[in-house]
Structure 1
Amino acid sequence: MNDSQTDYLPRVQLLLSQQRHVQAATELRRQLSLDPYDYVAHALLAVCLLEQEEFGEARSEAELAIHLAPEYDFAFYTLALVEHRQHRTAEALAAINQALALDPTDADYYHLLGSLRLASGQWQAALQATQTGLQFDAEHAGLHSLQARALARQGRRQEASDAARSALGYGSESSSIHAQAGWVALETNHSQEALAHFREALRLDPTSEFARAGLVEALKARYWVYRTFMRFIYWTNSLSAGVRRGLFLGAYVVARFVPVLLPLYLAFAYMSWFSDVLFESLLRLNRYGRYALSEAQRRHSNHFLALLGVGVAATIGALARPAVPGLGTLGFVALGLLFPLVGTEQLSHRPEQRARSRWAGWALAGIGLASAALAALGLGGGAAGMLFTAFLFGTLAYTWVFALR
């Protein structure tokens, strides 16, 4: 492309640096009306559409840029960004590896590669990506920040703290860098420091969902029970996937054969399911926490508290008035439905799996409520018991399938 064809680029780059994606998209569409084969404009338009969460159009623009210029590495990078935002990790890895094959010296590409490895639990691979990227740009704040996260996940606390400080040195005015430093502080057991970083991140960018989620996590860490549980989780995250599976399966087997340990195992199992929503519900009593929760978190808390309230009330009622039929069954059903409720919410970033989990929850609810209704009406004879047994085994199967998944 000649200079007359690219004179729009300075304007678009300025708008992008100012986070004015709508205006940048307008400029790019104007350029594409003059030259529909401008692959640079298509790739940049994909970035603008991605920031507006127009994922389908963003993917189309990135793919069109690749079609027009298969040797253009940035087009593959934009496609990787789109796939990453939609949690399509395999597709994102394929695209970013293609971008790196075309240009193996771009630090931004290594940053995305490291982010994908980190999201997949591949701590060492994430660390390797950051170290390679820093060879090409030693002052890349994002790479230093990602390096800190990977080191923290490996349990290398001091190195993680040093890398986080380096990131802040190069990106002290970046909301994302402060938010990443907050997560590193959380994972290295410095909750007060984490709160300070998340607050600064939100001051720099009040719309940052990443920083808001971190602030909620830091507020929950004020409760010693949650803090202790999360320390254990962060420690297990520093282990390999095989060791983690062996640890949890071994704990289950030991608890089965050593009854005195069963209450401790059950407490851990319930915390692993309900710690987030339980402590998010407690944050609603905190004058700061209630504003930090998102609308989705408040709605999830409402559903959780409603089921928990019905379950506890019905169970207490059954104990107080054992002659009243159906109360005990209703209590068990309400408490059992907490598992698919929480499991479905945890799959919010995986639409297909979330849909299957939701349908499993509705099926369990139908079976459980039918058994409670039959028991309350004194109808059905053994049918109520059979349905209740099916509900219990179905709930148990759900928890195992969800955990293995």
Structure 2
Amino acid sequence: MVKVDESIERARTLLRLRRPADAERELRGVLAVEPQQDMAHCLLAFALVHQGKAAEAMVAAREAVRLVPDHWYPHYVSGQVFLHLGLADPAITAANESLAQSTEHTSTWELLARAHLLKGQWREAADAARSGLAVDPQVPDLVSLLSIAHTKLGEAEPARAAAAHAIQLDPESATAHLAAGRAALAFGDPKAAADSFREVLRLDPGYSPARDLLVSALKQRNPLQRMLSKLRRRYLGGWRLVFLLPVAPPFIAVFILIALLHWAAWVSESVTVLRLTLAKATRLLFEGAEARVAMACCALLPAGIAVLALGIALGQEPVGTAGVAIMALITPVQEATHISSPRGRVVLRVWTGLLVAAIVAALIAGSTGGALLSVYAGLGTIWIAAGARRFFRDHHGAQV
């Protein structure tokens, strides 16, 4: 028995050191001796899920629950496995089953709050965090999650206050600095947000969402980019609006305005990313693909202007219109880059390829109408992208 206890403790240590494969080997040895060891099954579930072995992790978690169904911890472990896999509903169910056994463990309330955040249930997440803080008001991660929930609800002052309190409780908490950065970014202070996200990466260099948020904060430090992004979020132009055109043709002016607004925002995005990519202090933040897309879009703008000027100089209307169509390609290129769903990305890349072919065909045929349709189709990609985001949702859970 002593050897089993020692092995389980070694497995705990290995998990804390982020060595799940070594922990798995240790736990497999325990279960070979004692197959009914519930704690070994619990820790094995953690070791497996951190290696990407989802199916095996769920089997281990279910076995732990089967062995001790009246104990809070196996249900908690099951919920953590589901949360790690981005499955919010089963995680919430498991957390509630754990709470049915005991409400005195703040870790379970934290699990419930994170699961509600994953599902986009901001008010429920705040309530879960408060319930955990009623048990122990000094848990920095619960205070941080409360701040994030307030941020998502648009409640600036409570969000800032909770984040500051979390940092006060634990200045070395990456989650606390993440909460502070999210609040600063959401409520108009990108400089403070960038500083917070840098601190998150210092404390936890492997936390990739902080890198993405830092990039967003750096982009938002550009006043023009900040203004255009805010306007673009405000006027999303949902794909269903397309069905208004047959019954209300005057809406076409609104559509054109929305499309041009999005195009200007994508131009600003391209210029900002290219500038940050070329800067020595920030170039390492940007992946090669992102930098190449920004460079390509920045090249499309002068190329389109040059073709437009050539068309005007030659008196060739199809050539000039094709120049405008080339500039309009910035929208589909950026939309294809920024959609999260792999299938949606394929759809938008194919769409972009078809637009390029249509522009070339219009130039060869000397068709002004074909080139003009390419302009409208390029700018109108925002509605194609909106439909792709709806029908090809990315089911992977975002980290809090």
Query: Which TM class, normalised by the smaller chain length?
Result: 0.7 to 0.9
- Length-normalised TM-score, structure 2: 0.77
Distance 1:94 1:290 in 2: 43
Does the Cα contact within 8 Å between 2:45 and 2:57 map onto a contact in 1? yes
Other-structure match for 2:163: 164
1:132 aligns with 2:135: no
2:88 paired residue number: 89
Structure 1 position 396, deviation (Å) = 5.7
**SS of corresponding position for 1:287:** coil
What is the CA distance between 1:313 and its match in structure 2? Answer: 0.8
Give the aligned residue type for 2:387: V
Superposed counterparts of 1:87-236, under 5 Å: 87-228=86-227
Alignment partner, residue 299 of structure 2: 309
How many correspondences in the alignment?
Answer: 383
| 1:372 pairs with 2:359 | yes
Which protein has greater RCO, CA pairs closer than 8 Å, 6+ apart? 2
For residues 104 and 267 of structure 2, the distance between their equivalents in structure 1, rounded to whole angstroms, comes to 44
Aligned to 2:396: none
- Which consecutive unaligned segments of at least 5 residues does structure 1 have? 237-243, 349-353
Q: CA deviation at 1:17?
A: 3.1
Quote the residue 1:35 is aligned against: 34
- Aligned counterpart, 2:49: 50
What is the distance in 2 between the residues matched to 1:333 and 1:83?
A: 46
For residues 314 and 308 of structure 1, the distance between their equivalents in structure 2, rounded to whole angstroms, comes to 10
Percent identity of paired positions between Structure 1 and Structure 2: 26
- Could you say if the C-alpha distance between residues 394 and 269 of structure 1 is closer, same or farther in structure 2, counting changes exceeding 3 Å? closer
Contact 1:149 1:160 in 2 (8 A): yes
Supply the AA of the counterpart residue of 1:129: A
Partner SS state of residue 8, structure 1: helix
Q: How does 1:321-340 map to 2 (within 5 A)?
A: 321=311, 323=316, 328-329=321-322, 332=325, 335-336=328-329, 338-339=331-332
Question: Relative to structure 1, is the Cα distance of residues 273 and 69 closer, same or farther in structure 2, using a 3 angstrom cutoff?
Answer: farther
Q: CA deviation at 1:245?
A: 9.8
Greater mean deviation of Cα atoms: 136-145 or 298-307: 298-307
Query: Is 1:79–1:95's contact at 8 Å kept on the other side of the alignment?
Result: yes
Q: Which AA in structure 2 matches 1:302? A: R
Instruction: Find the aligned partners of 2:252 and 2:331 in 1 and give their Cα distance.
Output: 27
Deviates further, 147-156 or 383-392: 383-392
Task: Tell me if structure 1 keeps the 8 A contact 2:310–2:319.
Answer: no
> What's 2:280 paired with?
287
5+ residue gaps, structure 2: 392-400
CA distance in 1, matches of 2:146, 2:279: 33
State the TM-score, normalized to the length of structure 1.
0.76
Q: Is the 8 A contact 1:77 1:95 kept in 2?
A: yes
Matched with 1:26 is 25
RMSD between superposed Cα atoms in Å = 4.3
In 1, the alpha carbon distance for the partners of 2:188 and 2:331 equals 29
Task: Name the CA distance, whole Å, in 1 between partners of 2:370 and 2:251.
Answer: 32
